[in-house]
Structure 1
Amino acid sequence: MTRDHQRPVLQPTADFDWIIGSDEPGASHRIAQQTSWALLDRVRTGADPSVVERVVGLASTGPGIDDIAELWAREGTHSLAGVLWRLYLLRRVVAGDAEGSADLFRRGSAAALTIDPVVAGAAEPVTPVSIGELCDTILRGAFVGDLGAALDRAASYCRIMALGAADLADTRDVHDDAHAQQLTTRALRYSTMAQELHAGARRWRDGSLA
Protein backbone atom coordinates (compact mmCIF):
# COMPACT_ATOMS: atom_id res chain seq x y z
CA MET A 1 0.00 0.00 0.00
CA THR A 2 1.36 3.42 -0.92
CA ARG A 3 1.66 6.15 1.67
CA ASP A 4 0.82 9.84 1.22
CA HIS A 5 3.68 11.00 3.42
CA GLN A 6 7.43 10.83 3.22
CA ARG A 7 9.37 8.74 5.70
CA PRO A 8 9.87 10.97 8.73
CA VAL A 9 13.27 12.30 9.68
CA LEU A 10 14.19 11.96 13.35
CA GLN A 11 14.90 15.13 15.34
CA PRO A 12 15.66 13.37 18.61
CA THR A 13 17.14 16.11 20.76
CA ALA A 14 14.58 18.76 19.96
CA ASP A 15 11.45 16.65 20.19
CA PHE A 16 11.73 12.98 21.03
CA ASP A 17 8.12 12.04 21.58
CA TRP A 18 6.96 12.32 17.98
CA ILE A 19 4.39 9.87 16.62
CA ILE A 20 4.05 8.55 13.10
CA GLY A 21 0.64 8.24 11.50
CA SER A 22 -0.70 5.03 10.06
CA ASP A 23 -3.06 4.26 7.19
CA GLU A 24 -4.44 1.18 8.96
CA PRO A 25 -3.98 1.32 12.74
CA GLY A 26 -5.23 -2.23 13.28
CA ALA A 27 -2.86 -3.71 10.73
CA SER A 28 -0.05 -1.51 11.99
CA HIS A 29 -0.56 -2.79 15.53
CA ARG A 30 -0.48 -6.41 14.43
CA ILE A 31 2.69 -5.87 12.42
CA ALA A 32 4.31 -4.10 15.37
CA GLN A 33 3.49 -7.02 17.65
CA GLN A 34 4.71 -9.62 15.20
CA THR A 35 7.97 -7.88 14.32
CA SER A 36 8.93 -7.00 17.90
CA TRP A 37 8.35 -10.50 19.26
CA ALA A 38 10.03 -12.07 16.22
CA LEU A 39 13.09 -9.86 16.68
CA LEU A 40 13.31 -10.59 20.40
CA ASP A 41 12.95 -14.32 19.80
CA ARG A 42 15.51 -14.27 16.97
CA VAL A 43 18.13 -12.52 19.07
CA ARG A 44 17.52 -14.57 22.21
CA THR A 45 17.39 -17.88 20.38
CA GLY A 46 20.46 -17.28 18.25
CA ALA A 47 22.55 -15.55 20.92
CA ASP A 48 24.99 -14.56 18.15
CA PRO A 49 27.04 -11.61 19.46
CA SER A 50 27.29 -10.06 16.00
CA VAL A 51 23.49 -10.12 15.62
CA VAL A 52 23.05 -8.59 19.06
CA GLU A 53 25.43 -5.75 18.23
CA ARG A 54 23.71 -5.06 14.91
CA VAL A 55 20.33 -4.89 16.65
CA VAL A 56 21.70 -2.57 19.34
CA GLY A 57 23.54 -0.43 16.82
CA LEU A 58 20.41 0.39 14.84
CA ALA A 59 19.71 3.29 17.20
CA SER A 60 22.96 5.11 16.57
CA THR A 61 24.04 4.18 13.06
CA GLY A 62 22.41 3.93 9.67
CA PRO A 63 18.80 4.35 8.55
CA GLY A 64 17.50 1.27 10.38
CA ILE A 65 16.05 3.36 13.21
CA ASP A 66 13.60 4.96 10.76
CA ASP A 67 12.29 1.52 9.81
CA ILE A 68 11.82 0.63 13.47
CA ALA A 69 10.07 3.93 14.09
CA GLU A 70 7.65 3.37 11.25
CA LEU A 71 6.72 -0.02 12.70
CA TRP A 72 6.75 0.65 16.45
CA ALA A 73 6.50 4.37 17.29
CA ARG A 74 2.72 4.38 17.75
CA GLU A 75 2.71 1.51 20.22
CA GLY A 76 2.10 2.04 23.93
CA THR A 77 3.74 0.45 26.93
CA HIS A 78 1.21 -2.37 26.95
CA SER A 79 3.19 -3.82 24.04
CA LEU A 80 6.70 -5.15 23.52
CA ALA A 81 7.06 -2.93 20.45
CA GLY A 82 6.20 0.13 22.52
CA VAL A 83 8.77 -0.47 25.24
CA LEU A 84 11.51 -1.50 22.82
CA TRP A 85 10.86 1.62 20.76
CA ARG A 86 11.33 3.77 23.85
CA LEU A 87 14.68 2.13 24.54
CA TYR A 88 15.78 2.78 20.97
CA LEU A 89 14.59 6.37 21.20
CA LEU A 90 16.63 7.01 24.33
CA ARG A 91 19.74 5.78 22.53
CA ARG A 92 18.90 7.87 19.47
CA VAL A 93 18.67 11.01 21.59
CA VAL A 94 22.19 10.37 22.88
CA ALA A 95 23.44 9.74 19.34
CA GLY A 96 22.05 13.13 18.37
CA ASP A 97 23.53 15.05 21.32
CA ALA A 98 25.92 13.01 23.43
CA GLU A 99 27.48 16.02 25.16
CA GLY A 100 24.13 17.47 26.14
CA SER A 101 22.86 14.09 27.32
CA ALA A 102 25.95 13.56 29.48
CA ASP A 103 25.49 17.01 31.00
CA LEU A 104 21.84 16.31 31.87
CA PHE A 105 22.78 12.96 33.41
CA ARG A 106 25.51 14.52 35.55
CA ARG A 107 23.17 17.26 36.75
CA GLY A 108 20.37 14.77 37.44
CA SER A 109 22.64 12.41 39.33
CA ALA A 110 23.81 15.25 41.57
CA ALA A 111 20.21 16.25 42.30
CA ALA A 112 18.83 12.72 42.81
CA LEU A 113 17.72 11.73 46.30
CA THR A 114 16.97 8.14 45.28
CA ILE A 115 18.98 5.10 44.19
CA ASP A 116 18.29 5.88 40.52
CA PRO A 117 21.95 6.73 39.75
CA VAL A 118 22.97 3.35 41.17
CA VAL A 119 20.24 1.50 39.25
CA ALA A 120 21.06 3.26 35.98
CA GLY A 121 24.71 2.42 36.50
CA ALA A 122 26.60 4.87 34.30
CA ALA A 123 30.39 4.56 34.38
CA GLU A 124 32.19 7.37 36.16
CA PRO A 125 33.07 9.95 35.11
CA VAL A 126 29.98 10.41 32.99
CA THR A 127 31.12 11.44 29.51
CA PRO A 128 29.49 11.55 26.08
CA VAL A 129 31.07 8.15 25.40
CA SER A 130 29.99 6.54 28.65
CA ILE A 131 26.40 7.79 28.36
CA GLY A 132 26.17 6.18 24.92
CA GLU A 133 27.65 2.98 26.29
CA LEU A 134 25.08 3.00 29.11
CA CYS A 135 22.19 3.21 26.64
CA ASP A 136 23.77 0.46 24.55
CA THR A 137 24.09 -1.72 27.65
CA ILE A 138 20.42 -1.18 28.54
CA LEU A 139 19.36 -2.06 25.00
CA ARG A 140 21.61 -5.10 24.93
CA GLY A 141 20.16 -6.27 28.25
CA ALA A 142 16.65 -6.01 26.87
CA PHE A 143 17.51 -8.50 24.12
CA VAL A 144 19.82 -10.93 25.90
CA GLY A 145 19.12 -10.41 29.60
CA ASP A 146 16.13 -9.71 31.82
CA LEU A 147 13.85 -7.35 29.89
CA GLY A 148 12.13 -6.23 33.09
CA ALA A 149 15.45 -5.26 34.65
CA ALA A 150 16.48 -3.40 31.49
CA LEU A 151 13.22 -1.44 31.49
CA ASP A 152 13.58 -0.55 35.17
CA ARG A 153 17.14 0.55 34.51
CA ALA A 154 15.95 2.70 31.62
CA ALA A 155 13.23 4.17 33.85
CA SER A 156 15.90 5.20 36.39
CA TYR A 157 17.91 6.73 33.55
CA CYS A 158 14.87 8.75 32.47
CA ARG A 159 14.19 10.01 35.99
CA ILE A 160 17.79 11.20 36.22
CA MET A 161 17.54 12.92 32.83
CA ALA A 162 14.30 14.60 33.92
CA LEU A 163 16.01 15.98 37.01
CA GLY A 164 18.94 17.14 34.90
CA ALA A 165 16.72 18.93 32.39
CA ALA A 166 14.79 20.63 35.19
CA ASP A 167 18.02 21.72 36.88
CA LEU A 168 19.40 23.14 33.64
CA ALA A 169 16.10 24.93 33.01
CA ASP A 170 16.42 26.64 36.40
CA THR A 171 19.87 27.93 35.54
CA ARG A 172 18.69 29.26 32.17
CA ASP A 173 15.53 31.08 33.32
CA VAL A 174 17.16 34.48 33.61
CA HIS A 175 19.07 34.20 30.36
CA ASP A 176 16.76 32.45 27.92
CA ASP A 177 13.11 31.90 28.71
CA ALA A 178 12.44 29.97 25.50
CA HIS A 179 15.28 27.53 26.15
CA ALA A 180 14.19 27.13 29.76
CA GLN A 181 10.68 26.24 28.61
CA GLN A 182 12.07 23.73 26.14
CA LEU A 183 14.10 22.10 28.90
CA THR A 184 11.10 22.02 31.24
CA THR A 185 9.09 20.29 28.53
CA ARG A 186 11.91 17.82 28.00
CA ALA A 187 12.01 17.10 31.73
CA LEU A 188 8.29 16.28 31.62
CA ARG A 189 8.79 13.96 28.65
CA TYR A 190 11.57 12.09 30.38
CA SER A 191 9.45 11.80 33.52
CA THR A 192 6.53 10.44 31.49
CA MET A 193 8.79 7.97 29.73
CA ALA A 194 10.13 6.78 33.09
CA GLN A 195 6.58 5.95 34.16
CA GLU A 196 5.90 4.19 30.86
CA LEU A 197 9.03 2.07 31.07
CA HIS A 198 8.30 1.12 34.67
CA ALA A 199 4.80 0.08 33.63
CA GLY A 200 6.28 -1.97 30.80
CA ALA A 201 8.58 -3.76 33.24
CA ARG A 202 5.64 -4.62 35.43
CA ARG A 203 3.69 -6.01 32.47
CA TRP A 204 6.67 -8.07 31.35
CA ARG A 205 6.89 -9.66 34.77
CA ASP A 206 3.19 -10.44 35.10
CA GLY A 207 2.94 -11.72 31.52
CA SER A 208 0.56 -9.05 30.24
CA LEU A 209 2.93 -7.37 27.77
CA ALA A 210 1.31 -7.71 24.34
Structure 2
Amino acid sequence: MAEGEPIRVVVTGAAGQIAYSLISMIANGDVFGTKQPVILHLLDIPPAMGVLEGVCMEIDDLALPLVKGYVKTTEPEVAFKDVDAAFLVGAMPRREGMERKDLLSANVKIFKVQGEALNKYAKKDVKVLVVGNPANTNALICSFYAPSIPKENFTAMTRLDQNRAQSAIAKRLGLCVSNVKNVTIWGNHSSTQFP
Protein backbone atom coordinates (compact mmCIF):
# COMPACT_ATOMS: atom_id res chain seq x y z
CA MET A 1 0.00 0.00 0.00
CA ALA A 2 1.29 3.47 -0.89
CA GLU A 3 2.27 5.75 2.00
CA GLY A 4 3.51 9.30 2.35
CA GLU A 5 3.64 12.27 0.07
CA PRO A 6 4.18 11.56 -3.62
CA ILE A 7 7.44 12.59 -5.21
CA ARG A 8 7.45 14.22 -8.61
CA VAL A 9 9.58 12.47 -11.22
CA VAL A 10 10.28 13.82 -14.70
CA VAL A 11 11.19 11.51 -17.57
CA THR A 12 12.32 13.18 -20.80
CA GLY A 13 12.01 11.43 -24.12
CA ALA A 14 9.02 9.81 -22.45
CA ALA A 15 7.61 8.33 -25.66
CA GLY A 16 10.84 6.46 -26.44
CA GLN A 17 11.68 2.80 -25.87
CA ILE A 18 14.08 3.34 -22.95
CA ALA A 19 11.63 5.65 -21.19
CA TYR A 20 8.83 3.16 -21.81
CA SER A 21 10.68 0.54 -19.76
CA LEU A 22 11.78 3.06 -17.14
CA ILE A 23 8.31 4.51 -16.58
CA SER A 24 6.86 1.12 -15.67
CA MET A 25 9.73 0.47 -13.23
CA ILE A 26 9.15 3.84 -11.54
CA ALA A 27 5.39 3.31 -11.48
CA ASN A 28 5.48 -0.15 -9.88
CA GLY A 29 7.99 0.76 -7.16
CA ASP A 30 11.20 -0.77 -8.51
CA VAL A 31 13.03 2.59 -8.48
CA PHE A 32 11.91 4.48 -5.36
CA GLY A 33 10.43 1.62 -3.35
CA THR A 34 7.05 -0.01 -2.97
CA LYS A 35 5.83 2.54 -0.43
CA GLN A 36 6.77 5.71 -2.34
CA PRO A 37 3.92 7.26 -4.35
CA VAL A 38 4.86 9.17 -7.49
CA ILE A 39 3.51 11.79 -9.83
CA LEU A 40 5.05 11.31 -13.27
CA HIS A 41 6.01 14.29 -15.42
CA LEU A 42 6.40 13.01 -18.99
CA LEU A 43 8.18 15.28 -21.47
CA ASP A 44 8.64 14.76 -25.18
CA ILE A 45 8.65 16.66 -28.45
CA PRO A 46 5.39 17.55 -30.25
CA PRO A 47 5.69 14.84 -32.97
CA ALA A 48 5.89 12.17 -30.23
CA MET A 49 2.76 13.21 -28.32
CA GLY A 50 0.57 10.61 -30.04
CA VAL A 51 2.88 7.85 -28.83
CA LEU A 52 3.06 9.46 -25.39
CA GLU A 53 -0.73 9.42 -25.25
CA GLY A 54 -0.51 5.64 -25.73
CA VAL A 55 2.02 5.40 -22.88
CA CYS A 56 -0.39 7.32 -20.64
CA MET A 57 -3.23 5.00 -21.61
CA GLU A 58 -1.08 2.08 -20.49
CA ILE A 59 -0.36 3.83 -17.18
CA ASP A 60 -4.12 4.20 -16.74
CA ASP A 61 -4.72 0.56 -17.70
CA LEU A 62 -2.19 -0.68 -15.13
CA ALA A 63 -3.97 1.23 -12.33
CA LEU A 64 -0.86 1.02 -10.16
CA PRO A 65 -1.51 2.32 -6.63
CA LEU A 66 1.80 4.21 -6.43
CA VAL A 67 0.93 6.45 -9.39
CA LYS A 68 -0.95 9.42 -7.97
CA GLY A 69 -1.07 11.19 -11.30
CA TYR A 70 0.86 12.16 -14.37
CA VAL A 71 1.49 15.19 -16.53
CA LYS A 72 2.28 14.82 -20.23
CA THR A 73 3.76 17.87 -21.89
CA THR A 74 6.06 19.35 -24.50
CA GLU A 75 6.89 22.31 -22.24
CA PRO A 76 10.00 22.13 -20.01
CA GLU A 77 8.55 24.63 -17.52
CA VAL A 78 5.64 22.25 -16.91
CA ALA A 79 7.73 19.07 -16.96
CA PHE A 80 10.36 20.24 -14.47
CA LYS A 81 8.02 22.05 -12.04
CA ASP A 82 8.80 20.98 -8.45
CA VAL A 83 10.38 17.66 -9.47
CA ASP A 84 12.33 15.62 -6.93
CA ALA A 85 14.03 13.38 -9.50
CA ALA A 86 14.84 13.74 -13.18
CA PHE A 87 15.63 11.01 -15.68
CA LEU A 88 16.96 12.73 -18.80
CA VAL A 89 16.51 10.01 -21.37
CA GLY A 90 15.68 12.09 -24.44
CA ALA A 91 18.64 13.05 -26.61
CA MET A 92 19.38 13.43 -30.29
CA PRO A 93 20.42 10.02 -31.64
CA ARG A 94 23.40 9.79 -33.94
CA ARG A 95 22.16 9.15 -37.46
CA GLU A 96 24.01 7.60 -40.35
CA GLY A 97 26.46 10.07 -41.84
CA MET A 98 26.12 12.46 -38.91
CA GLU A 99 29.35 14.03 -37.70
CA ARG A 100 30.03 13.80 -33.97
CA LYS A 101 30.24 17.61 -33.76
CA ASP A 102 26.72 17.87 -35.24
CA LEU A 103 25.43 15.40 -32.67
CA LEU A 104 27.08 17.33 -29.84
CA SER A 105 25.70 20.61 -31.16
CA ALA A 106 22.15 19.22 -31.24
CA ASN A 107 22.48 17.79 -27.74
CA VAL A 108 23.93 21.01 -26.33
CA LYS A 109 20.68 22.73 -27.32
CA ILE A 110 18.55 20.02 -25.69
CA PHE A 111 20.50 19.80 -22.43
CA LYS A 112 20.91 23.57 -22.13
CA VAL A 113 17.11 23.94 -22.17
CA GLN A 114 16.70 21.10 -19.68
CA GLY A 115 19.42 22.47 -17.39
CA GLU A 116 17.83 25.91 -17.41
CA ALA A 117 14.43 24.37 -16.66
CA LEU A 118 15.87 22.34 -13.77
CA ASN A 119 17.53 25.47 -12.43
CA LYS A 120 14.38 27.56 -12.63
CA TYR A 121 11.56 25.11 -11.82
CA ALA A 122 12.84 21.95 -10.07
CA LYS A 123 13.40 21.52 -6.36
CA LYS A 124 16.95 22.54 -5.46
CA ASP A 125 17.73 19.09 -4.06
CA VAL A 126 16.57 17.33 -7.25
CA LYS A 127 18.58 14.25 -8.23
CA VAL A 128 19.37 14.08 -11.95
CA LEU A 129 20.33 10.99 -13.95
CA VAL A 130 21.37 11.66 -17.54
CA VAL A 131 20.86 8.66 -19.79
CA GLY A 132 20.91 10.21 -23.28
CA ASN A 133 24.28 9.73 -25.00
CA PRO A 134 26.89 11.05 -24.87
CA ALA A 135 25.73 10.89 -21.25
CA ASN A 136 28.83 12.35 -19.59
CA THR A 137 28.93 15.37 -21.88
CA ASN A 138 25.18 15.88 -21.65
CA ALA A 139 25.33 15.72 -17.83
CA LEU A 140 28.10 18.32 -17.81
CA ILE A 141 26.11 20.64 -20.09
CA CYS A 142 22.95 20.19 -18.05
CA SER A 143 24.70 20.87 -14.73
CA PHE A 144 26.43 23.95 -16.18
CA TYR A 145 23.05 25.48 -16.99
CA ALA A 146 21.63 24.55 -13.56
CA PRO A 147 24.08 26.36 -11.26
CA SER A 148 21.67 26.46 -8.29
CA ILE A 149 21.59 22.65 -8.11
CA PRO A 150 24.60 20.99 -6.44
CA LYS A 151 26.92 19.33 -8.95
CA GLU A 152 26.91 16.13 -6.90
CA ASN A 153 23.19 15.79 -7.69
CA PHE A 154 24.02 15.04 -11.34
CA THR A 155 25.16 11.68 -12.61
CA ALA A 156 25.44 10.01 -16.01
CA MET A 157 24.47 6.45 -16.79
CA THR A 158 27.19 4.74 -18.75
CA ARG A 159 25.96 1.21 -18.11
CA LEU A 160 26.13 0.12 -21.75
CA ASP A 161 29.75 1.24 -21.85
CA GLN A 162 30.46 -0.58 -18.60
CA ASN A 163 28.86 -3.77 -19.92
CA ARG A 164 30.93 -3.57 -23.10
CA ALA A 165 34.12 -3.05 -21.09
CA GLN A 166 33.32 -6.00 -18.81
CA SER A 167 32.62 -8.19 -21.83
CA ALA A 168 35.88 -7.17 -23.56
CA ILE A 169 37.90 -7.85 -20.40
CA ALA A 170 36.19 -11.22 -19.91
CA LYS A 171 36.93 -12.27 -23.50
CA ARG A 172 40.53 -11.14 -23.26
CA LEU A 173 41.08 -13.08 -20.02
CA GLY A 174 38.96 -16.08 -21.01
CA LEU A 175 36.53 -15.53 -18.14
CA CYS A 176 32.78 -15.55 -17.78
CA VAL A 177 31.58 -11.92 -17.78
CA SER A 178 29.94 -12.46 -14.37
CA ASN A 179 33.45 -12.93 -12.92
CA VAL A 180 34.59 -9.45 -13.99
CA LYS A 181 33.96 -7.02 -11.13
CA ASN A 182 34.66 -3.42 -10.14
CA VAL A 183 34.91 -2.01 -13.66
CA THR A 184 35.09 1.79 -13.83
CA ILE A 185 34.68 3.82 -17.00
CA TRP A 186 36.57 7.05 -17.69
CA GLY A 187 35.91 9.22 -20.69
CA ASN A 188 32.86 9.57 -22.83
CA HIS A 189 30.74 7.39 -25.07
CA SER A 190 33.44 7.52 -27.78
CA SER A 191 37.02 6.59 -28.57
CA THR A 192 38.13 8.64 -25.54
CA GLN A 193 36.68 6.02 -23.23
CA PHE A 194 39.01 3.93 -21.10
CA PRO A 195 37.94 1.00 -18.86
- The answer, yes or no, to whether TM exceeds 0.5 is no
Q: Which has the higher helix share?
A: 1
TM-score between both structures, scaled by the size of structure 2:
0.30
Higher Cα radius of gyration: 2
TM-score between both structures, scaled by the size of structure 1:
0.29
- RCO comparison, higher one (Cα < 8 Å, 6+): 1
